[in-house]
Structure 1
Amino acid sequence: MPAEPLALVYGRRLRHACLRGIETTNLAHAVELLGQHQQPVRLGQIRAADGSWTFMLFFTEDGSRLIVCTGVRRARA
């Protein structure tokens, strides 16, 4: 997947999280690095066993290197 559209999507998610007071980790840095990355990326996702956090991992296209990881605390239902 191209990195540039992901930077835009995650930039919107960052603004949304800030407006709603949703806890994130490393999201601003992820937006910055994705915006600078000129190659396609591979995505991965990890969910905490208790459902409290979801983490997105962004790898190089061949999956050999982690570019950045970000997490968002999930709202309790």
Structure 2
Amino acid sequence: MTRDELARMLGEQTRACGPARDALTAGGTFIVWDGLLPADCLAHTYRTRLRITQRRRQPTLALASAVNLLCAAAEEPLRIGRIDAADKPWTFMLFLNAAATSVLACAGVTGSGPPAEPATGAK
């Protein structure tokens, strides 16, 4: 997948898609892993991350919306991707369909250090 292909997939799925697209086109790094995980498994993981970020008062963008979209996707197999902004402390998590041809949801989170690796099963 190219940078331009991924940028075109980032529409208006969540409020984080525009900033993620901007980070990507401004030279941010990106990766889309090969492994597939069921959306409901990802929803559980990211619901937990949402609670942790809220407890820490860590800024997020559309994380709650992404969790809702993941819940609605039920057992649909999804790929995980990530965009790391080049000039800002934002990391954007992407949730793509199994063929990696469309983005279901996108969420952003700020952090102070390298983002965690994806859930087991994704590459």
Q: TM-score by structure 1 length?
A: 0.91
> What is the CA RMSD across the aligned residues, in angstroms?
1.3
Q: Which amino acid aligns with 2:105?
A: V
Q: Deviation at 1:75? A: 2.7
1:9 counterpart (40, 45, 50): 45
Corresponding position of 1:68: 105
Corresponding position of 2:62: 26
The structure richer in strand per residue is: 1
How many percent of aligned residue pairs carry the same amino acid?
Answer: 42
Tell me, what secondary structure is at the counterpart of 1:54? strand
The alignment status of 1:57 with 2:77, answered yes or no, reads no
Task: Identify unmatched segments of 5+ residues in structure 1.
Answer: none
Task: Identify unmatched segments of 5+ residues in structure 2.
Answer: 1-36, 114-123
Quick one: distance in 2 between partners of 1:16 and 1:50? 25
Q: TM-score by structure 2 length?
A: 0.59
Query: How many residue pairs end up in the alignment?
Result: 76
CA contact (8 A) 1:51 1:74 kept: no
